[in-house]
Amino acid sequence: MIEGFWFPAGSAKKIVAALSVSEGRFKVIVKHDEYMEGQFDELIVSSRVGNIPRKIQLPDQSVFETTDNEAVDRLLQLSSAIVKRRGWAHILETRWSWIGVSLLAVLLFVFAGFRWGLPWASVSVAESIPEPIVQQLSQGSLSLLDDIMFKPSEISESEQKKIAQRIQNRLAHLDGSNFPIHFRKMGLPNAIALPSGDIVLTDRLVNIASDEELLSVVLHEISHVKQKHGLQQLVRSSVLSFAIALVVGDSSGVEELLVGLPVFLMQSQYSRSHESEADEYALEQMMAMDVDPIHFARIMEKMEGATQQAGAQGNEDHNESDTSVTRQKKLTDYISTHPVSAERIRKAETLSDTFNRRRVLSN
Amino acid sequence: MRLDTNIDQLPETRWEKLEFHGKGLEYFKIWIVNIFLSVITVGIYSAWAKVRSKRYFYGNTVLHGAVFEYHAKPLGILKGRVIAVIFLAIAIGLGILHPLAGPISSIVIAIVTPWVIWRSIIFNARMTSYRNVRFGFMGKGLTLYYILLVIPLLFASAGATLGWVIGFLGRSIDLFGLRGINQINAAIIGGILGVYLSFPYIHKNLTSYFLNHRLFGQGRFRARLHGSFYYWSYLKWFILLSVITAVCWSIVFLANTLVGNNLSFLRAGGTRDAALAALPPMVLVLALIPFLLGFSWLKAYITTLFRNYGYGRLQLQSAATFKSQMDHNRLFSIQFTNFLLLVITLGIAWPWTRIRLVRYRIETLSARIYGDVEGYLSQMQNKQSALGEELGEAFDINLDLGI
């Protein structure tokens, strides 16, 4: 005998009732009176979820409800196989071995997704984005950058043309016209490549760099374009945000950071490897073009010097001690998107040694 | 209305709190198996997962000794999802093939969205029952188009006209000293202001639509909402937003001066670009924290305001009234600690955080049943649910009304 309540079809009444089953037949007793009996197989028993009350629908659409889940499960054990099968999800959800397996499998899946799935997907999607869309995306990001970060260049247009022409002449073998060069003003010496191949140089970079140095920076940026690093990052952050939003579900304000943080951390890790890749390409090309790789080291030093100078200026104004600058620099390195500059400079210098030795030999 | 007058004179009235009996560990088990099976079935099981998960939450929500029940069939939801995926694939495919498809699909989305929301409201209402009586929704789809598309257009054109007139008067008779004003610009600014001013009104109308056409069996829910409350709340929100933003910037500024890092540029006369570019990313993340706290608190505050108001005005025809006694600080602290839990456990704690939040949402609700709820008859049920309803569910667009 299972105790519970009976709900008549189509009304909100709730009446104390009991259900008994024997030899394949059921009997429902409502308020001490027998209400209905019939074949047990005619009952539709809701599948078990946790410990929520079980609903047993009678043939006349009325419902018997009970919280005695164990008793209902025992009844189902005795009945036909078809009815028994209904509870398999609940069985998985209550056996620790299955929960352990599920947890492990999900963790493994998430790990594999991050480790192999995501890089693979971002590379292959980035490869397959059609040219018009790449163009559109790039134009969009350039105008966004124009709005928030750049100001129009202060270098005269004729000068701009001359500089661009000088660089592109040396890139002729790479088809330099595929990499239009733009000039913008920004507080720091910097260069940015858009997926379309457009390369932006800032005024301060142009001012501190020699032609060779500018060439090395442009080569570095061209590598980003050729390897489609920008597109890969875009795809990766979209997929990541989407996946995290899926798992975390309806976010409530604070949880939104949860989407941002891992995306940010993943991106900075990836961009480090992208930077070394681009460095390698630039240095290789310089060697091939008979340009001393030392120029890359020089411009790196200059750019870092300019950035630090900017930082020092800000601190001097407030009479801050040098220690805060160094402490802060360490922190920056920790999470920096570029591999520690000294390392990059050293690489260029080593290659420069090889380059010069080879030149001496060939002479 | 009859029931407005005599609620308090009814002899048998009692406030009854809703209870929530869900448990973190129990839900964790369901959740992890759901994810596992969804992954190994390439997402197909997700329809079953959704139903099990919803049944768990509904079945643990207790009012007056009886639980709620969720009735949707996984196969129907799966069907809706398949159609939704095909629809999206076509839209994305077209977007890749033709550049014009972008603007066109935005227009299509604008036209389809109210319909999808409407079907989704109907679906979710019909799939819910309490004491073997189903809920329902009898709002018209057209009303939603009116609220979401026509109202903003009306406000925008009214604003634009007003802007134009002011511009015109300013130019011709030098009213308000606006001689130099450009009429077109004035009209554009007026239009944009009009759209902003329409938000509280749209919010009020949506909430009203959402609550007033709801059925329990044959009984109808009613909620008389006042536009003034929504305008007042949005004004409060705006003021608090300004204050919080100002306070957050001051905190960042102060911390920055104390630590002595690059942001001091902003005051040292260096350019903004230089300051931003030199700012190490870690400092940016740290600077985000006060904003994050401030804005989440504000979201909890405003959600609570709308929720308490909406439920406070809700009645079930001659049977029940409701109230919500949510406290925004408590809500915020739950959401914030949930967030910390999620970060520390890398997301594994999600089921516990979910249960905590839902428990708070439900247990701050109470109902006063004064009429004959038992006498409520189920309305005639349409046995098969139309495909459109499941499609609405598949896109899973939730109206965030704070209800």
Contacts of residue A63 in chain B, CB cutoff 8 Å?
A: 132
Whether residue B261 and residue A324 make contact (CB cut-off 8 A), yes or no, is yes
Answer whether A6's CB lies under 8 Å from A64's CB. Answer: yes
Same-domain status, A296 and A200 = yes
Answer whether B304's CB lies under 8 Å from B327's CB. Answer: yes
Flag whether pLDDT at B295 surpasses 60.
yes
* Alpha-carbon Rg for chain B in angstroms: 25
What is the rounded average pLDDT for all residues in chain A? 79
Q: How confident is the model at residue A305 (pLDDT cuts 50, 70, 90)?
A: confident
Kindly state the tokens that stand for A159. Answer: 């000068």
Query: Of A89, A116, A133, at which residue does a domain stop?
Result: A89
Measure B13 CA to nearest chain A CA, in Å.
18
**Residue pointed to by tokens 């933003």:** B245
H or E element at residue B37 = helix B24-40
Please measure the distance between the N-terminal and C-terminal CA atoms of chain A and give it in whole angstroms: 104
Same-domain status, A167 and A73 = no
Whether residue B271 and residue A253 make contact (CB cut-off 8 A), yes or no, is no
Measure A188 CA to nearest chain B CA, in Å.
6
Q: Closest partner residue to B268 among A5, A187, A314, by Cβ?
A: A314
Answer whether A20's CB lies under 8 Å from A2's CB. Answer: yes
Mean pLDDT of A277-306: 85
Q: Is B267 exposed, middle or buried (0-12, 13-18, 19+ CB in 10 A)?
A: middle
Same-domain status, A165 and A283 = yes
Q: Closest partner residue to B281 among A7, A50, A335, by Cβ?
A: A335
What's the number of domains chain A is made of? 2
Kindly state the tokens that stand for B369. Answer: 């049943």
Q: DSSP code of A29?
A: E
Amino acid, res. A308: Q
In this predicted structure, which of A140-144, A157-161, A245-249, B84-88 has the lowest mean pLDDT? Answer: A245-249
Residue range(s) defining the domain that contains residue A247: 125-362
Alpha-carbon gap, residue B375 to B316, rounded angstroms: 13
Alpha-carbon gap, residue B400 to B120, rounded angstroms: 13
Highest mean pLDDT pick, B16-25, B82-91, B212-221: B16-25
Answer whether A338's CB lies under 8 Å from A267's CB. Answer: no
Q: Closest partner residue to A187 among B52, B56, B277, by Cβ?
A: B277
Answer whether B63's CB lies under 8 Å from B129's CB. Answer: no
Residues 6 or more apart whose Cβ sits within 8 Å of residue A212: A291, A292, A295
Q: Is residue A108 part of a domain?
A: no
Contact of B6 with chain A, judged by CB distance below 8 Å, is answered with: no
Q: Is residue A109 part of a domain?
A: no
A89-146 pLDDT, tens digit each: 888 888 889 899 999 999 998 888 888 888 888 888 888 888 877 888 788 888 888 8
Smallest CA-to-CA distance from A11 within A66, A53, A63 is with A63
Alpha-carbon gap, residue A208 to A94, rounded angstroms: 68
Smallest CA-to-CA distance from A338 within A308, A312, A304 is with A304
Query: Of A89, A116, A148, at which residue does a domain stop?
Result: A89
Same-domain status, A73 and A146 = no
Same-domain status, A154 and A276 = yes
Whether residue A310 and residue B274 make contact (CB cut-off 8 A), yes or no, is yes
Q: Is B122 exposed, middle or buried (0-12, 13-18, 19+ CB in 10 A)?
A: buried
Residue of B nearest to A13 (CA): B374
Contacts of residue B261 in chain A, CB cutoff 8 Å?
A: 315, 324, 328
Flag whether pLDDT at A193 surpasses 70.
yes
Same-domain status, A248 and A348 = yes
Mean pLDDT of A244-264: 55
Q: Which of B28, B32, B51 to mutate to test the interface with A (most CBs of A within 10 A)?
A: B32
Flag whether pLDDT at A310 surpasses 90.
no
Q: How many residues does chain B have?
A: 403
Distance from chain centroid for Cα B222:
20
Same-domain status, A189 and A302 = yes
Q: Is residue A116 part of a domain?
A: no
Alpha-carbon gap, residue B59 to A51, rounded angstroms: 8
Q: Find the CATH number of the domain harbouring A40.
A: 2.30.29
Flag whether pLDDT at B178 surpasses 90.
no
Residues 6 or more apart whose Cβ sits within 8 Å of residue A163: A155, A181, A183, A206, A214
Q: Is residue A111 part of a domain?
A: no
Mean pLDDT of B314-341: 90
Q: Is residue A298 part of a domain?
A: yes
Q: Is B341 exposed, middle or buried (0-12, 13-18, 19+ CB in 10 A)?
A: middle
A130-189 pLDDT, tens digit each: 887 788 878 888 888 888 778 888 888 898 889 888 888 888 777 656 788 899 988 778
Whether residue A186 and residue B277 make contact (CB cut-off 8 A), yes or no, is yes
pLDDT of residue A191: 86
Q: Is residue A135 part of a domain?
A: yes
pLDDT of residue A23: 79
Q: Closest partner residue to A49 among B35, B36, B52, by Cβ?
A: B52
Q: Which of B26, B34, B36 to mutate to test the interface with A (most CBs of A within 10 A)?
A: B36
Q: Is B179 exposed, middle or buried (0-12, 13-18, 19+ CB in 10 A)?
A: exposed
Query: Of A89, A111, A138, at which residue does a domain stop?
Result: A89
Q: Is residue A249 part of a domain?
A: yes
Same-domain status, A283 and A336 = yes
Contacts of residue B260 in chain A, CB cutoff 8 Å?
A: 315, 318, 320-321, 324
Measure B137 CA to nearest chain A CA, in Å.
17
Count of other CB atoms within 10 angstroms of residue A17: 22
Per-window interface: B 96-125 vs A, CB < 8 A: 96, 99
Same-domain status, A55 and A157 = no
* Alpha-carbon Rg for chain A in angstroms: 34
Residues 6 or more apart whose Cβ sits within 8 Å of residue B118: B139, B141, B144, B392
Same-domain status, A278 and A138 = yes
Contact of B358 with chain A, judged by CB distance below 8 Å, is answered with: no
φ and ψ at A59, to 5 degrees? Answer: -55, -25
Residue of B nearest to A102 (CA): B36
Q: Is residue A114 part of a domain?
A: no
Count of other CB atoms within 10 angstroms of residue A258: 19
A20-58 pLDDT, tens digit each: 888 778 889 888 888 888 888 888 888 889 889 999 888
Highest mean pLDDT pick, A105-109, A185-189, A249-253, B391-395: A105-109
Alpha-carbon gap, residue B117 to B249, rounded angstroms: 38
Same-domain status, A164 and A306 = yes
Measure B333 CA to nearest chain A CA, in Å.
10
Alpha-carbon gap, residue A240 to A110, rounded angstroms: 11
Provide ipTM, 2 decimals: 0.73
Residue of A nearest to B296 (CA): A253
Contact of B69 with chain A, judged by CB distance below 8 Å, is answered with: yes
Same-domain status, A197 and A71 = no
Contacts of residue A93 in chain B, CB cutoff 8 Å?
A: 29-30, 33
